[in-house]
Amino acid sequence: MPALTEPVRYLHGVGPQMANRLARLGILTIRDLLYHLPSGYRDRREVTPIARLQTGVEATIAASVASLETRRRGGRRSDLVASLRDESGFLRAVWFNAAFVGERLREGNRYLFSGTVQRFRGPEFHNPDFEPEDGGERLHVARLVPRYPLTEGVSERWVRARVHDALEGLPAVEDLVPESRRAALGVPSLDRALRDIHFPARPSDAEPARRRLALEELLRLQISLQYARRRHRDRLVAPSLSAGADAMRAFVRSLPFRLTGDQLGALQAIAVDLDATTPMRRLLLGDVGSGKTVVAIAAAIRAAAAGHQAAFLAPTSILAEQHAATAERLLGASGVTHALLTAATTERERARILEGVASGEIAILLGTHALLERDLAFRALALVIVDEQHRFGVRQRVSLAERGHEGQGAHLLVLTATPIPRSLALTLYGDLDLSPLREKPPGRSPVRTEVRGGVAREVLPAILREELDRGGSAFVVYPIVEASEKSDLKAATEMAQSLSTRPDLADAGVMLVHGRMKVGERREAIARFRSGEARVLVATTVVEVGLDIPDATLIVIEHPERFGLAQLHQLRGRVGRSDRPGRCVLLVSAGLGEMARQRLDVFRRVTDGFELAEADLRLRGPGEILGTSQHGFPELKAANPLQDNDLVEAAREIGAALLAEGEEADGGANLGKWIETHFAGAERFLGSG
Ligand code: ADP
Ligand code: MG
């Protein structure tokens, strides 16, 4: 019997053609086949007398074949027609274009037949499944039979038989989860689970089996993440930054506001991490506007004051520029040096920065993540801060954290503004310690959300006029999706054009920003909006990732249905950042689907980012919420991090215990091999990143 990791074509009955079809379902290995979970079950346990069959209802009968005949239809097709008999009566069965089925039936013998009763010239079974009544173990009839997600040329019956074969030949699967743990979680052994999920004896066996498989997936993910974390921590030593403690405290005191309790808590945890020589790996998980940047800068100051350097990576140059401006503002008095490096930096300026980074003269370097790819030689890099990390994918994070400088590791601080439930955060960021910022800084105003119909060109000017008269200023946001990038961009550009030429909006100073603009022009437009000179900013999604313009009061979003709820929430977070109330208008066009309407309505009602994330997760599933391919979200088939909260926590603990055990076994020398043996392929869960 081939091993679980072998290609599925090693199974009896799977030829090259079927292997190709299975590949369409994402099934490459035997393990993939066994993890191709049933979408449900047909309950064929009860045997019904023919006389009591009901039209349209699926049923199983135990009957003998009274007669068999092949009937030719047009061309080379022929059907098989049988008359079936039990103690209560007769039933006709027809197998269309499938005369070969007759080879498996014999007049006079008894079989179990399962099918749905059709009313034709009388009650009939069409293409029923059947097996001999006394033929030993049953697969397709007279039991709970699994249904599967299918693709063209792959039938349910065929998959069922292949799964059955694979299980039949499978040697007992080893289970690394201790018995006591399994009992506490109410799940069977891995071996039992693999069998029960496909062929449960009772309906109530299926869910515990699914949970055990979910635990296995989560465990593999945790093992791979935690192993990466261990390698990072064991191989590398990071400098202790305790010498920067006073400077950090002074910085916090110098702020024009008081940090929230959550901010202080996070900063305390960070300080403890930074003072140790084991590299920090921490995630600052906070909703839009929860004040992550300030915390990050305080950490950077601790590094700088301890005589080391910090790199602050942002996902876009606009955001990097904004962080640089924040740093400028907050660092002013402290004397800590910083610089900004993006694609727009001139050659001359870059040369100066490279020199300053190499000499240590520049203590904090901000920029896009390109700055780590460049061959930048820091004199003493001690802290890497990454904003909006999920955009880089799990695998990239792992390699980022491993990028030490000459054996010296850097502490890693990840900021994410995607409000994700704790269970999902643990799944995605199992290798990081969590510091949540749930509390909002005081003085924030709630944002009122409205859904408005109508043609943008007609309704938008009035909405904007009203806001301007109130003394506010507004973002108008257009989604740009790759598939229709040109026309999307055109829509934004045309709207900006049309708004800026309207006499009734002459005082608005309408500006446009989009990703295809020259950086200088883009910066100019944002600066004018920030200063209040321009009061309407038409933008593509570039503003989504965190423009901080406290005076903006209105955000109008075109085609909101094209955004995920998490993204919409980010957008909405652009307003209501001062004591002036914010307003968010979703402009929807006619013909929106029911599902889309429902999502937007949830968004309108729910203002808490975490609550919204949970709702989104429920509506769309975890892959969708983060966009599987883009964000390297690990592929989970059995597990649903939202639903399986307890399993996520358990997997984290069990994974840590297993790793410790593997390390103990041989002093850690062969831990990698140990993981390879027990969790072969675990790294697949890291996604493509
Ligand atoms: P995030 O990055 O989490 O979205 P920011 O760090 O950009 O949030 O903070 C948003 C705004 O709130 C900034 O203008 C920042 O200066 C301000 N801010 C941060 N913390 C506080 C606080 N504790 N009290 C008042 N304002 C704060
Ligand atoms: Mg921010």
pLDDT digit string, tens, across residues 93-106: 999 988 888 899 99
* Atom of ligand 1 lying closest to residue 286 CA: 3
Cα of 368 from ligand 2 centre, angstroms: 14
Cα of 292 from ligand 1 centre, angstroms: 7
Question: How does 336-345 read in b/e, with b if 16+ C-beta sit within 10 Å?
Answer: bebbbbbebb
Q: Which residue ranges make up each domain of the chain?
A: 1-41+144-171, 46-142, 190-443+642-689, 447-606
- The stretch 250-265 carries a mean pLDDT of 93
Which residue intervals of 306-346 are DSSP H helices? 317-331
Question: Ligand 1 pocket test: which of 254, 285, 292, 294 has the largest number of ligand atoms within 8 Å of its C-beta?
Answer: 294
Cα of 599 from ligand 2 centre, angstroms: 25
Options 3.40.190.10, 3.70.10.10, 3.40.50.300, 3.30.479.10; CATH of 447-606? 3.40.50.300
Q: Which ligand is nearest to the CA of 293?
A: 1
pLDDT surpasses 90 at 557: yes
**Phi, then psi, of 218 in degrees rounded to 5:** -65, -35
Task: Name the band, by pLDDT with cuts 50, 70 and 90, for residue 497.
Answer: very high
For residue 573, the model assigns a pLDDT of 85
pLDDT digit string, tens, across residues 427-480: 777 778 889 888 888 877 778 999 998 888 889 999 999 999 999 999 999 887
What's the rounded Cα separation, in Å, for the pair 338 and 356?
10
H or E segment at 516?
none
Q: Provide the strand spans (E) within 542-620.
A: 554-558, 582-588
Task: Name the band, by pLDDT with cuts 50, 70 and 90, for residue 631.
Answer: very low
Cα of 647 from ligand 2 centre, angstroms: 32
Cα of 373 from ligand 1 centre, angstroms: 29
- The stretch 63-87 carries a mean pLDDT of 91
- The stretch 225-249 carries a mean pLDDT of 84
Identify the residue whose C-alpha is closest to ligand 1 atom 23. Answer: 259
Say yes or no: do domains 46-142 and 447-606 share a fold: no
pLDDT surpasses 80 at 200: yes
Contact 440, 260 (CB under 8 A): yes
For residue 345, the model assigns a pLDDT of 86
Task: Name the band, by pLDDT with cuts 50, 70 and 90, for residue 628.
Answer: very low
**Phi, then psi, of 446 in degrees rounded to 5:** -65, 155
Domain 46-142, what fold?
OB fold (Dihydrolipoamide Acetyltransferase, E2P) (2.40.50)
Cβ–ligand 1 contact at 416 (below 6 Å): no
Residue 571: closest CA among 394, 660, 457, 449: 449
For residue 684, the model assigns a pLDDT of 47
Q: Give, rounded to a whole angstrom, the gap between the first and last alpha carbons of the chain.
A: 34
Cα of 549 from ligand 1 centre, angstroms: 11
H or E segment at 53?
none
pLDDT surpasses 90 at 368: no
For residue 348, the model assigns a pLDDT of 92
Burial of 119 (0-12, 13-18, 19+ CB in 10 A): exposed
Task: Name the band, by pLDDT with cuts 50, 70 and 90, for residue 687.
Answer: very low
* Atom of ligand 1 lying closest to residue 573 CA: 4
Q: Which ligand is nearest to the CA of 549?
A: 1
Number of H helices, E strands in the chain: 23, 21
Residue 244: closest CA among 179, 185, 298, 207: 298
What's the rounded Cα separation, in Å, for the pair 659 and 140?
42
What the block records as the tokens of 328 is: 């400028």
- The stretch 658-671 carries a mean pLDDT of 77
**Lowest mean pLDDT segment, chosen from 165-174, 302-311, 383-392:** 383-392
Cα of 604 from ligand 2 centre, angstroms: 23
3-state secondary structure 236-267: CECCCCHHHHHHHHHHHHHCCCCCCHHHHHHH
- Name residues whose C-beta falls within 8 Å of residue 535's C-beta, 6 or more positions apart in sequence: 468, 472, 473, 474, 507, 508, 509, 529
- The stretch 355-363 carries a mean pLDDT of 94
pLDDT surpasses 80 at 111: yes
For residue 482, the model assigns a pLDDT of 63
For residue 224, the model assigns a pLDDT of 80
What's the rounded Cα separation, in Å, for the pair 410 and 533?
42
Mean pLDDT score across all residues of the chain: 85
* Atom of ligand 1 lying closest to residue 437 CA: 3
Cβ–ligand 1 contact at 441 (below 6 Å): yes
Cβ–ligand 1 contact at 634 (below 6 Å): no
Contact 71, 81 (CB under 8 A): yes
Q: What amino acid occupies position 631?
A: H
For residue 688, the model assigns a pLDDT of 32
Cβ–ligand 1 contact at 551 (below 6 Å): no
Radius of gyration (Cα) for the chain, nearest Å?
A: 31
Q: Which ligand is nearest to the CA of 257?
A: 1
- Please give the residue that has the higher pLDDT: either 567 or 303: 303
Cβ–ligand 1 contact at 535 (below 6 Å): no
CATH code assigned to 190-443+642-689: 3.40.50.300
pLDDT digit string, tens, across residues 404-426: 445 567 898 989 876 666 777 77
For residue 1, the model assigns a pLDDT of 58
Cα of 314 from ligand 2 centre, angstroms: 10
Q: Which ligand is nearest to the CA of 320?
A: 2
Cβ–ligand 1 contact at 319 (below 6 Å): no
Cβ–ligand 1 contact at 259 (below 6 Å): yes
Burial of 318 (0-12, 13-18, 19+ CB in 10 A): buried
Task: Name the band, by pLDDT with cuts 50, 70 and 90, for residue 81.
Answer: very high
Cα of 452 from ligand 2 centre, angstroms: 29
Cβ–ligand 1 contact at 294 (below 6 Å): yes
Q: Which ligand is nearest to the CA of 297?
A: 1
Most confident of 217-226, 551-560, 628-637: 551-560
Residue 34: closest CA among 200, 223, 193: 193
pLDDT digit string, tens, across residues 514-546: 878 887 888 889 889 999 999 999 998 755 556
Identify the residue whose C-alpha is closest to ligand 1 atom 4. Answer: 289
DSSP state of 167: H
Cβ–ligand 1 contact at 548 (below 6 Å): yes
Identify the residue whose C-alpha is closest to ligand 1 atom 20. Answer: 291
- The stretch 10-18 carries a mean pLDDT of 91
Identify the residue whose C-alpha is closest to ligand 1 atom 15. Answer: 291
Cα of 290 from ligand 1 centre, angstroms: 6
* Atom of ligand 1 lying closest to residue 550 CA: 14
Cβ–ligand 1 contact at 417 (below 6 Å): yes
- The stretch 269-296 carries a mean pLDDT of 90
Task: Name the band, by pLDDT with cuts 50, 70 and 90, for residue 315.
Answer: confident
pLDDT surpasses 80 at 675: no
Cα of 242 from ligand 2 centre, angstroms: 26
pLDDT digit string, tens, across residues 115-129: 999 988 788 999 999
Most confident of 361-375, 582-596, 635-649: 582-596
Question: Ligand 1 pocket test: which of 260, 264, 321, 548 has the largest number of ligand atoms within 8 Å of its C-beta?
Answer: 548
pLDDT surpasses 70 at 84: yes
Most confident of 470-479, 512-521, 573-582, 621-630: 470-479
Question: How does 22-35 read in b/e, with b if 16+ C-beta sit within 10 Å?
Answer: beebebbbbbbbbb
Identify the residue whose C-alpha is closest to ligand 1 atom 5. Answer: 291
- Please give the residue that has the higher pLDDT: either 30 or 369: 30
**Phi, then psi, of 337 in degrees rounded to 5:** -85, 145
For residue 164, the model assigns a pLDDT of 93
pTM score of the predicted model: 0.67
Cα of 569 from ligand 2 centre, angstroms: 13
Task: Name the band, by pLDDT with cuts 50, 70 and 90, for residue 621.
Answer: low
Cβ–ligand 1 contact at 622 (below 6 Å): no
Cα of 303 from ligand 1 centre, angstroms: 21
Cα of 479 from ligand 1 centre, angstroms: 26
Most confident of 83-87, 137-141, 412-416, 647-651: 83-87
Task: Name the band, by pLDDT with cuts 50, 70 and 90, for residue 268.
Answer: very high
Beta partners for 384? 311, 412
Cβ–ligand 1 contact at 576 (below 6 Å): no
DSSP state of 441: P
Cβ–ligand 1 contact at 298 (below 6 Å): no
Task: Name the band, by pLDDT with cuts 50, 70 and 90, for residue 632.
Answer: very low
What the block records as the tokens of 454 is: 């109508």
Cα of 577 from ligand 1 centre, angstroms: 9
Task: Name the band, by pLDDT with cuts 50, 70 and 90, for residue 193.
Answer: very high
Question: How does 172-188 read in b/e, with b if 16+ C-beta sit within 10 Å?
Answer: ebebbbeeebbeebebb
Cβ–ligand 1 contact at 286 (below 6 Å): yes
**Lowest mean pLDDT segment, chosen from 82-91, 229-238, 305-314, 528-537:** 229-238
- Please give the residue that has the higher pLDDT: either 177 or 491: 177
What the block records as the tokens of 438 is: 């749930």
Percent of the chain with pLDDT over 90: 44
Task: Name the band, by pLDDT with cuts 50, 70 and 90, for residue 689.
Answer: very low
